[in-house]
Amino acid sequence: MAALRSAAQTLLAPVAVLAGSALLGVAIALVTVRVLRGIAAARVPDLAPAIGARLRLPLLLLFPTLVLAASLPFAGLPDRAVRVVADVDRVVAMLAAAWVVLRVLTIGEDVLLARYRVDVDDNLKARKVHTQIRYMRRIASVVVVVIAVGAVLLTFEEIQQLGTTLLTTAGVAGVIVGFAAQKTLATVIAGLQIAFTQPIRLGDAVIVENEWGWIEEITLTYVVVKLWDWRRLVVPIGYFLDNVFQNWTRSSSRMIGSVFLYLDYRFPVAAMRDELSTILRESDLWDGGVEVVQVTDCTERTMQLRVLVSATSSPRLWDLRCLVRERLVAFVQESYPQMLPRFRAELGSDDGRAAHEAATPGSRGASGRRADAPGAGA
């Protein structure tokens, strides 16, 4: 019994030191989170709750391990136990520190992006900043993870000895790794080029592989294009450096669109201009820019009217074109139904036409009846 009591007393002191260290670390972590949340509430109130929530768990893991590492020499454990606990504590501390850095990078990304809103009409600069910050955050996250994993592996003596051995063959290994990772490195470099030269940005309206959509996401290796029907087109990031594609919002989100109508030659074009002016001024989709009606072509049956309008973005332009087309077609149907395209033909035989011309000097020879039949509309 005495021996058992002595063993319990021997273990009680180290356990008390370790438990006290862990509790002290937890208290420091909670205080730190509260202080950071107060600072965030004063500067970025909208993000303060998210900042506290994201940092709480990583800090609750990091600070206890740091306090434990500082108090371990005073715990009174045997040397072998001290080495084992120290190695485990060091690994956990490294992983916790990497976790904290990753969360800080995410918080920094949110703080910076909050200053540049993309839900406005003129969002070109904001989309440029969003593209660069998000890509650089991903690059930084990969670097942090690689460093953390390397640091954890180097805490073990066996790995250190293996690393020393590999240094002697670093030249050959470097060549082999270079060939193996050539495509991966090319992809990362392509991503860096896109992030800084920016042939595409988040939110750009593009045509890729004959599909129209918006750039929804840019990762380290691929780009996600959200198509007009909500499908997703996943494209390797190097595609945008090696292939031709259309970017409708490269320098500005404002766009011009056209609407074509095919009407009879007798249609008064001035009336169409007046109606278009009325439609545009009643719609909040129009940006007050382009307002044009032109006769751009003539055929044997109809004339082609091209209507040009402008809007602040491609989705608004699409809706505006549909609105203008519907309203103008309704205008023609209600006000000028006789001006829809017509197919003109003369019915009769050649003998009848000749007899009629002989009987009626100066006539055009319309021996048959002339028929004006309505044709297809615009």
For residue range 325-335, what is the model confidence (pLDDT) as tens digits? 999 999 999 99
Residue at 31 is within a domain? yes
State mean pLDDT over 251-269: 90
**Residue bearing the bigger pLDDT, 275 or 120:** 275
Closest CA to 308 of 299, 298, 320: 320
Please state which of the ranges 90-94, 138-142, 157-161 shows the lowest mean pLDDT: 157-161
Q: Say yes or no: 47 and 98 in one domain.
A: yes
Task: Show which of 76, 94, 115 is a domain's final residue.
Answer: 115
State pLDDT tens for residues 344-362. 666 665 555 555 555 555 5
Q: DSSP letter string over 242-268?
A: HS--EETTSS-S-EEEEEEEEE-TTS-
Mean pLDDT of 278-283: 94
pLDDT for the residue numbered 10:
61
133 or 158, which is more confident?
Answer: 133
- The pLDDT of residue 253 is 78
140: left (phi over 0), alpha (psi -120 to 50) or beta: alpha
pLDDT tens per residue, range 72-109: 877 777 778 778 888 888 899 999 999 999 999 998 88
* Mean pLDDT, the chain, integer: 81
Buried b (16+ CB within 10 A) or exposed e, 211-231: ebbbbeebebbebebeeeeee
User: Quick one: 14 and 99 in the same domain?
Assistant: yes
* Same domain, yes or no: 264 and 360: no
- Domain assignment present for 216: no
pTM of the model: 0.63
% of the chain exceeding 90 in pLDDT: 35
Give the separation between CA 26 and CA 24, rounded to whole angstroms. Answer: 5
Domain of residue 303, residue span: 255-339
